[in-house]
Amino acid sequence: MPIHPPISVPGKVFIAEVGPRDGLQMEQQVVPTDLKLALIEGLADAGLSSIQVAAFVHPEKMPQMADAEALIARLPVRKNLHYSALTLNLKGVERACRTSIPWIEVSLAANDAQSLRNAGMSMRQALDESAAMTAMALRNDRSVQASIQCAFGCSCPTDTEVGQVRQIAATLVGQGISLLMLADTTGLATPRSVVDLLEQVLPVTDKVPVGLHLHDTRGLGLVNLMTALQMGIVHFDTALGGLGGCPFVSGAAGNIATEDTLHLLHSLHIETGIDAARVAQWSRRLSDFFGHPLPGRMYRL
């Protein structure tokens, strides 16, 4: 009988649930604040310790996030549970700092086309503004995580240079962030490109943890996660039921599903502290609310 080598993966992985933000922003039917609050509480009850609850963006461009301040004002306070909100510019950080949100995500694109669509700024302008955004958040005693959108490409894998992503990562780390997420916004990542990018980025991030925000546009989301696991990555964004996508990206698909990710991780005996069955209850509830099935698989079982 052949002897198979053991799979080398971390013993514990940290999942950030982005369903209440990224997951809802693609849906046309606006979710009432009360239902969002119930969803967030249900996710916390399932064991999620990190939940992204809102984005401070223009309410006309993204009506689903129009209640960001009202939602955050009503969030339940729990020990060992932290909430985050996404921002794209200095005005967004200013709004966030007027709330109690403890973690602020400074998000910018590694591609000019995506940056102009999503933030109305060139990539260079957004990178310059990120310094002021991070500084303001830190002055207001907030923890800062940063994300690089389209880190694996925008319209095609070759329109975003790995060296450019590396330079942006180094700049963001130098600004004082506590976590860096590389986002596969358009779902172009492959196992090979995950290895190539991480090999370039990890050496310039010092002690700042690096994670992945993966979309499943081409069906490689969990394959890419597995590749990253084997490179020692332990931080991942997921969305219940596979909800999500960027409204400013043509053909955008959802995030890797929280339940599907947990199924994989638990099959590898990796600790997460999250009850997938309780997350799935909320995926089914949202599927009923929106009137259509969600992209994820395991929530249906």
Residue 68: predicted pLDDT: 98
Question: Residue 80 class from Cβ within 10 Å (0-12 exposed, 13-18 middle, 19+ buried)?
Answer: exposed
Rounded to 10 degrees, the C-alpha dihedral 129/133/136/138 comes to -130
Residue 167: predicted pLDDT: 96
Q: What is the homologous superfamily of the domain 14-300 according to CATH?
A: Aldolase class I (3.20.20.70)
Residue 4: predicted pLDDT: 58
Look at residues 257, 276, 107 and name the one whose alpha carbon lies nearest to residue 181. 107
Residue 83, beta-bridge partner list: 51
d(CA 171, CA 90): 17
The continuous run of DSSP H or E covering 168 comes out as helix 162-174
In the set 97, 150, 154, 246, the catalytic residue is: 246
Residue 13: predicted pLDDT: 98
Which residue's structure tokens are 């053909």?
251
d(CA 52, CA 171): 24
Is 156 in the active site? no
Residue 158: predicted pLDDT: 78
Q: How many CB atoms lie within 10 A of CB 74?
A: 12
Look at residues 76, 79, 84 and name the one whose alpha carbon lies nearest to residue 143. 84
The whole-number mean pLDDT for each consecutive block of 10 residues of the chain, a chain of 301 residues, reads 69 97 93 98 98 95 95 94 97 98 96 80 90 98 97 84 95 98 95 97 96 95 97 98 79 88 97 98 98 96 90
d(CA 54, CA 69): 9
Residue 73: predicted pLDDT: 98
- Please state the domain extents for the chain: 14-300
d(CA 53, CA 282): 15
Residue 184 structure tokens: 């596969």
